[in-house]
Structure 1
Amino acid sequence: MIVVRALGPADVSVNGAAAPAKLLWKKNLALLIYLARSPKRLRTRDHLIGLLWGEKPEEKARHSLNEAVHVLRLCAGDDGFESDTAQVRIAPGTIELDTDTLETLAAAGDYAGAAALINGDFLEGFSVRGASAFDDWLAAERQHWCRRSVDVLVHRAEQLLAAGNVAAAHDAVQRARELDWRPETAVRSALRTLALAGDRGGALALFEEFASRLKRELGAEPDAETRALAERVRLERTWRLPKAVRDAAARTSGSRRAPLVGRALELERLTAAWTACRAKRRATVAVIEGDAGAGKTRLAEELASRARLDGAVVAAVRAVAADHSDAWSGVFGIARGGLLDAPGVAGAPPAALAQLRGTAPPGAPGRALADVLQAVADEQAVVVFVDDAHWLDRESLLALGGIMRDLAGSPVAFLLTVAPHPAGPELDEVRARVGRELAGTAMQLRGFGTDDVRELGRWALPSYGDEQLDRLARRVLADSAGIPLLVVALLHAV
């Protein structure tokens, strides 16, 4: 078996060993790879002569082709190549080409495996002197595989973002942009990774640099989708959650925001529910349950951040114990947590707006919230984020349950974080309906294990070696009982 790695500088092995020197002669290698990329891995002799030996007299050119085929046969075995007076063909099972493997992996959704194959341009640095037809083919192949490589790396970056691994996603999209700075899918992915990493300035600088280069070199402007994303990043301050929610998140992250660890599967479920909400224009409900310090708010914020970058309106409120007995406080909190300032709100009934703004006599706040949500959702998707929903008043919980049903055909995601106690029948009913009457997902957050603590330790203390990290992880896990809030606090204290 001849194995060829062509996505980068050419690398060839034969039966697991280094390729013989003769196989690596430029025209021999060019013939091998060209045949491997040809339909049915077959070409006529006349075509191959014109491709690689067109500058020679016909008799010498045919002799050179015969010599090259002989070298290929010596490496692959007599059965590896089939040839007659008219054509040459690579037999099945003779060669493994990384481009074929990449397509197989990408088709299966294994973008991690596909991305690992990409090491640069197709046959980087390779050329054949005196074979202009081959060089023309090679240039076209490089363009094709550059596009495919960028596409694979962007898909991989999006997979990593969905799992909460922002740093690795940034690395993947950087690799894509090193191959080609022009594709705007990669630019948008880079903007998202920087924004989600908290580097809004870096994201905006990247956009400005891209727009300037595009204008200078191609006389063009970024497309509407890229400009819209950059504008959402620019307006990030208007997305910020209410102060109470931000303060709660700050308490769980210490002075330096820790990376999201141990929540990849949960974040993937949340992003899948959100994607379906937008694509199918249907309401979805996500319930995140966990004890105090489990990281409920942090996980919900990760989804809210992605929703904002997707152009959604996020209306957020954090309930507290005092709200439990304050009728309709939750409804008014949602309205004033970003909903009343959202695009499209002017299309809501004036009476509903007056009710939620407190400029009309008390009436039916729940109905008013439904009307305003519907008007805003007609313009763009909406996320209603209620942190510590177990403290919501009964009236607001009942209203939310009805709104979830009434807006089932609208792109509204209801994102609730809850603690196991205090229990309440209204919230229990919402949980029970998720996945049955209501599209969405419900999850319980577990405590951290040794691997999670070790990963956070590597982030917090990058100078520590493996043995030190192992000892630290065991000690922190024992002292914190695996509670994420305590794990982060203890690591900050080291």
Structure 2
Amino acid sequence: MWGTPSQHSKRVFRCPQHVLYTRVLPYHWLRFAKGQGAPRGFATLSFMESTLAGWRLDLLGPGRLVAASTQVMPVAAKALVVLAYLALEGATSRTRLADLLWPEVAEVTARNNLVQLLRRTRQQLGVELVQGSDPVALSPALTVDTRTLSELYLLGGYDEAVIQAGPLLQSLEVQPGSDLAGWLQAQRERLDEQRLAVLRREAVRLENAGDYATAARLADLHVHLDPVSEEAYRRLMRLRYLQGDRDGALQAFASCQATLARELQTEPLPETLALAAEVAQGGHVPQVPPRAAQGRSFARSARLVGREEVWTQLEAAWQAGKLILISGPPGIGKSRLAQDFAMTKGRVVRVEARPGDAGTPFATNTRLARAHLAAQPDVHLPDWVRETLARYLPELRGAVPPAPVRSPEERQVVFDAQFELVRCTSSELAAIVVDDLQYFDHASLALGNALISRAFPFHGGSGIPPHVAVYRSGELAAEQAEVLDGLVRAGLAMHVEVGPLTVEAVEAMLQDIGVPGAARLAPRLARFTGGNPQLIQETLQHLLELGAVHDPPEHLPLPPGVQEVLRRRLGRLSPGALQVVRAAAVLQSDFTTELIAEMLGAPLFDTIHAWEELERAQVLQGTQFTHDLMLEAVRASIPEGVYRLLCRSAARLLERRDGRPSRIARLWKEGGDSRAAMHWFMRAGAEAAANFLLREAAGFYAQAAEAAEAGGRTPLDAAPPGAPLLSRAVDS
């Protein structure tokens, strides 16, 4: 067996034409590259060399196929799309290609159209560009310029022709909003970022070598390719000035000003203004200055202001041994209040529920359990606890796989095991803070409810430390709200609502962080932001970026709402950082630099570099977004076609990494692949049923049926044996 398309290995190797392959390649192609024989259905390499030697596929620019004789060969637009897709995505199923090119027709018709297209192309050209039956792949003997660009990006070097060739398939016209349009836009952005990275690196090398004239020409090209990059404008200004062309440097600054005003409705950054001032005055300009500190900001207030009354309520709930529930609108300061209060009691474990948890049983609880184990890594858990929790904590699994949960009694054992884990790992803990409760999955909520009920009161000797839970007002699901209301009515919990800051509290906050003219600015900021601490911080950050903190204009230069502020901040990111943060927004939770790099097919070093930029710009903080509004702003900035493409890429990544079926299913669904979504919802249903999570299982099977219907199949195709019985059991 050669293996299926899902069996992949990550390798980098060279074919006889010295073309670098850096994509994730099927196992049978690795054998092929090592000379261990060709996959069934594919021509041998020697045959392809004899027919395709010297042939070149230029995808950058208008797109063309060049024969060994340098003759440009005629290729239909759809055939060119097939060649580009295979070159950039690797071996692909015929169904995927057919759906991409003919989305409006039935699958059988679309596949037949593809067969005819490939046959006509083969007959017209007299060579076999596409190999295999299903999946199909591009002949590895064909030289492709996008691979040359990737080689420059990964290994270094510079090729002027490749850099100036133009965007991917520049002349291709596609239907706006289609799957193909989204894929094409995402690939163009990825390749443009590679082009800019190569250009940026070469310009820095030339500047360090003292070749200012050539470096300035590349900086000018960078500005042309990325006209809103202030970094490129500053490099061009500096290089022209270093050559003695002061007027040219100021002309570059004027162009920068005009472009930013037109495209982003904003002013240059303070460092750009400072460089322009130095140039205008004929001052000293360093050759290669350190990277701009894009994330300059005011420090957070050292003390919690305006929360004295709320603090008193929290203290009363703590003394009563109750679960503390803190709610409020986004950015109001709930999380900080909970954290600061809990830390006055001693050591704290803090865990966040994340967007996407709701669709994955025990997702939040898995994160909580791992936080407890990390807090006390040397803990000795009883064997029955390890065996029980191994169902959702694979690191606890022994030689024998855990048995499915088949009854309410066995599910209670899972609850007991979680209680024991928390008890065993909490001897040194004073409190547990759980944030973003609105994202909890149903199974984790039920488990938490059982734990709180059993541990009450927290100071009563159960060994479970007090819990503080935080959530957004108005965003709880009906079932979540019912559970929490029940705890409050039963006297097991106290609910505290956090409101906006008063003008006096805003003034105290501004004084704490050193804002000049705090007394004068506080009333305006309180009115403008509604007393929301996060929006106050965002507004101050924007004023700082505009250089207007010391003398704010009469009318604060922000549109209503913080989304516009965040949009402008995102608009200042480099293309590479924007790609990284978009990928993070698609994954939503539990993302790392390694995961993002693999998802984007980018070098880890470049991903880390982009990550640092995102942290400086206060978009990311560690492995999470600085706040939920930032995540929402990033998601809103992603074109729908690009979003679907990123979802599919994330789904394939999590498949390779044995991710949770429900999470993979959601990504396939949002990526527009109903067939794959149906398959993974089925697997999620089976996993939930195996753990006696009948409600979740029924929900997943229902979503599988919906996906089947959306993919042109009948719901019965997605119904597992016993699914109707399962649904009736849940209803009862």
**How would you bin the TM-score normalised by the shorter chain?**
0.3 to 0.5
Larger relative contact order (CA 8 Å, sep ≥ 6): 1
> TM (normalized to structure 2)?
0.30
> TM (normalized to structure 1)?
0.43
